[in-house]
Amino acid sequence: MVQIPDELKYTSDHEWALEEGDLLVIGITDYAQDALGEIVYIELPSEGDEITKGDPFGAVESTKAVSDLYAPVSGDVVEVNDMLLDSPETINGDPYGEGWMIKVRPYDPKELTELMDNEEYSEYVEKEMED
């Protein structure tokens, strides 16, 4: 069963976002890491980089495929989980904890309201699994 925590917001590209004060913590969902298979490499932006909602901010490579990571909001990258560069498989084991990817200071907090909540994302994933 795919984990979909209540407190997170989700994108249709299977990224999640968690509000942490005035920052957003961003990663990929349990569903995404499961679909990708064993993650062997990750490419992330650097601290100080700017990300734009809907645009790629990095990539994840697994034994199956390479997938872009899409920004759920626009903002400045204030922290990067450098541990993933040496241990990308952490995302497979703990996508919502140790497997977080970047922390962003969003330009427009309203963008967060455009993301799916856990119920909407659960329905989205169910439909995708049927296809």
**What pLDDT, on a 0 to 100 scale, did the predictor assign at position 122?**
96
| Spatial distance between the Cα atoms of 111 and 97, rounded to a whole number of angstroms | 23
Would you say 44 and 38 are in contact if contact means Cβ atoms under 8 Å apart?
Answer: no
Mean model confidence pLDDT for the chain: 96
pLDDT tens figures, 57-102: 999 999 999 999 999 999 999 999 999 999 999 999 999 999 999 9
Rounded to two decimals, what is the model's pTM? 0.96
Give one word for 21, left, alpha or beta, with left for phi > 0 and alpha for psi -120 to 50. Answer: left
